[in-house]
């Protein structure tokens, strides 16, 4: 049984998500100890349990310690099979963080999913980012996945609904994306839920104006107005380059003008474009589990602690795979030196 120190490096829920996904892929039992030991509220939180339970369903695993507050978890998978996985998060727990656990494992089995919870919540990737930036990059390595946002869910009530499917990963194509040379267009989605339509329109207008100050390329931002359990707004932007897509996003909140939300997302995206690396700081760590099997090398706008921690977790299962050039907080390159066959 592989033993993982849950307090290593960044020490958050990502260690759990990656370790359990790799346990399912490799069919190796795993024990995670000292879960979130350095956090103010140590142990498993409700949002972590949903990813674990989704992977339990996918693989028919036996699990010990899957309860809130637990600092030790044992996960013993059986052979994973294609399934329709339902994950009913009854709060605004992040749907995208569940998918960070589910997608790497489901790439090897295929299947479909239906997840309720938070689509656009603090401290996690918005669902439009996952759909338009992450899945775009995964498509380059041969993963075919679809995702549909049926309903938005914001903090604190949640109520969002996301459905999708993923085909079994066929040809594993290496990803070689060091730098971009040209921005071809900007695109995005500006949404307002249980709020006036002008909120989405003002977010989009402010973002468009900021991007047009620096780039003379098309800017195509959709606006979406919807109903759900509670109010909320946000905007996700991405730059379509001659390599991959880089993203930026911002969430609205009471008292924060829509124009500020739009400019905040645009400034974040423009910051990711500085320096010319092909992979933004949010995508880099998400790609690590997939690159182990696809191969290649990527240039990241920032080597984050999340990325370094994810490399460490993957290598606990699969041995030395990556070379990381650069320091945390700086731009760098991640290179696969040994591609894994499963």
Q: Which residues are catalytic?
A: 306
* Alpha-helix runs per DSSP H in 107-196: 127-129, 135-140
Residues 338/321, Cβ–Cβ less than 8 Å: yes
Token digits for 103? 């997608």
Instruction: Return the SS3 of 232.
Output: strand
The Cα angle at residue 331 between residues 328 and 332, in degrees rounded to 5? 85
CB atoms within 10 A of CB 215: 14
Q: In angstroms, rounded to a whole number, what is the distance separating the alpha carbons of residues 246 and 281?
A: 9
Residue 272 and residue 235: Cα distance in Å, rounded?
Answer: 16
Cis, peptide link before residue 286, omega less than 30° from 0: no
Backbone angles phi, psi at 56, to 5 degrees: -60, -45
Is the Cβ–Cβ distance between 231 and 194 less than 8 Å?
yes
Q: Binding site annotation covers 229?
A: no
Looking only at the bridges linking them, the beta strands covering 160-166 and 145-151 are antiparallel
| Distance (Å, whole) CA 159 – CA 86 | 14
Is residue 285 marked as binding?
yes
Q: Is 100 annotated as a binding-site member?
A: yes
> Is 16 labeled as ligand-binding?
no
286 is in an annotated binding site: yes
236 membership: H or E segment, kind and range: strand 232-241
Quick count: other Cβ atoms within 10 Å of Cβ 216?
Answer: 6
Token pair, residue 95, equals: 């749907």
Residue 284 known to bind ligand: yes
Q: Check if the beta carbon of residue 262 is closer than 8 Å to that of residue 203.
A: yes
d(Cα 312, Cα 305) in Å, to the nearest integer?
Answer: 11
| Binding-site residues from annotation for ATP | 100, 282-286
| Binding-site residues from annotation | 100, 282-286
């Amino acid at each position: 049984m592989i033993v993982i120190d849950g307090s290593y490096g960044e020490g958050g829920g990502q260690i759990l998500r990656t370790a359990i996904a790799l346990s399912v892929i490799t069919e190796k039992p795993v024990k995670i100890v000292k879960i979130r030991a350095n956090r103010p509220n140590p142990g498993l939180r409700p949002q972590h349990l949903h990813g674990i339970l989704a992977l339990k369903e996918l693989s028919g695993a036996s699990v010990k310690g899957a309860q809130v507050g637990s600092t030790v978890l044992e996960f013993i998978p059986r052979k994973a099979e294609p399934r329709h996985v339902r994950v009913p998060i009854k709060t605004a727990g992040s749907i995208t963080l569940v998918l960070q656990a589910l997608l790497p494992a489901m790439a090897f089995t295929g299947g479909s999913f239906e997840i309720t919870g938070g689509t656009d919540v603090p401290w996690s990737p918005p669902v439009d980012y996952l759909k338009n930036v992450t899945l775009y990059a995964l498509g380059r390595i041969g993963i075919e996945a679809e995702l549909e946002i049926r309903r938005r869910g914001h903090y604190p009530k949640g109520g969002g609904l996301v459905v999708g499917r993923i085909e079994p990963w066929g040809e594993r194509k290496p990803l070689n994306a060091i730098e971009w040379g040209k921005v071809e267009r900007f695109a995005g989605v500006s949404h307002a839920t249980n709020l006036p339509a002008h909120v989405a329109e003002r977010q989009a207008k402010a973002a468009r104006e900021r991007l047009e100050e620096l780039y003379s390329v098309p800017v195509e931002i959709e606006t979406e107005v919807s109903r759900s359990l509670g109010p909320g707004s946000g905007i996700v932007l991405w730059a379509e380059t001659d390599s991959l897509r880089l993203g930026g996003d911002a969430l609205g909140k009471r008292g924060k003008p829509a124009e500020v939300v739009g400019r905040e997302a645009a400034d974040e995206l423009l910051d990711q474009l500085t320096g010319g690396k092909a992979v933004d700081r949010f995508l880099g760590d998400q790609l690590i589990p997939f690159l182990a099997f696809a191969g290649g090398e990527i240039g990241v706008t920032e080597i984050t602690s999340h990325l370094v921690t994810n490399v460490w977790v993957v290598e606990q299962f699969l041995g030395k795979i990556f070379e990381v050039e650069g320091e945390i907080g700086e731009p760098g390159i991640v290179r696969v030196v040994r591609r894994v066959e499963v």
